[in-house]
Chain A
């Protein structure tokens, strides 16, 4: 399973509150990604990271920020959650030894 965990796995929050999702990997991979999955849209890339303190925006980054202060942790923050950010969030890694992208178990976020 590529050693990826996400926390929390489920969260319900209210509009306007800050939320932080955590992705943790155990194998020191450089490349990490945050996606959101919504019905009819497949997955869409939010932010990605190529190493510690090396992050950049993806396709749908508005309203999200990320941080990576350690190789193993990639944090996704919603500064002020909105109902449009209700989604399932997946973290992924790409090992340097392969082109395959592996996914964490996902976090289901509901913003009321």
Chain B
């Protein structure tokens, strides 16, 4: 059974700190997605990683992909309150856009 595991599932941190969210998956996948969801809202695409070693950055968020280790990370630099949200990773093991999702990491950033 294909599994996508995120950890931690819950993270409370102080503004200004750095932290990393991990996404492990159990089978090969050509694509790895990161999304953000605010409470009661829809999902917003953050990154699509398409190859081993891919790294993408947007503001204080940086995502990377290691397909050999089946691991993606989402790194938060100098966190600010506005980054409080739930972050999801998803994989596309058959390259047909039928995504398999992690359970999400709820991130709370305290002033």
With an 8 Å Cβ cutoff, the count of chain B residues facing the other chain is 20
Binds B, one of A14-22, A39-47, A63-71, A75-83: A39-47
Query: How many pairs of residues, A versus B, come closer than 8 Å at their CB atoms?
Result: 50
Task: Say whether A42 contacts B97, CB under 8 Å.
Answer: no
| CB closest chain-A residue, reference B50 | A99
Q: List chain B residues, Cβ under 8 A from A44.
A: 101
Shortest Cβ gap from B98 to chain A (Å):
6
Interface centre among A99, A104, A105 (most CB of B within 10 A): A99
Task: Say whether A90 contacts B42, CB under 8 Å.
Answer: yes
The contact of B103 among A33, A41, A100, by CB within 8 Å, is: A41
Contact digits for B42-60, partner A, Cβ 8 Å, 1 yes 0 no: 1111001010000000000
Give A89-112 interface residues, CB cut-off 8 Å to B.
90, 94, 98-106
Task: Say whether A101 contacts B45, CB under 8 Å.
Answer: yes
Q: Is A58 an interface residue (CB 8 A)?
A: yes
Assembly CA distance A105 to B44 (angstroms): 10
The contact of A45 among B4, B48, B99, by CB within 8 Å, is: B99
Task: Say whether B103 contacts A40, CB under 8 Å.
Answer: yes
Are A42 and B102 also in contact (CB < 8 A) when A31-B97, A94-B97, A99-B50 are?
Answer: yes
Give B4-50 interface residues, CB cut-off 8 Å to A.
4, 31, 33, 41-45, 48, 50
Contact residues of A with B, CB < 8 Å? Answer: 31, 33, 40-45, 48, 58-59, 90, 94, 98-106
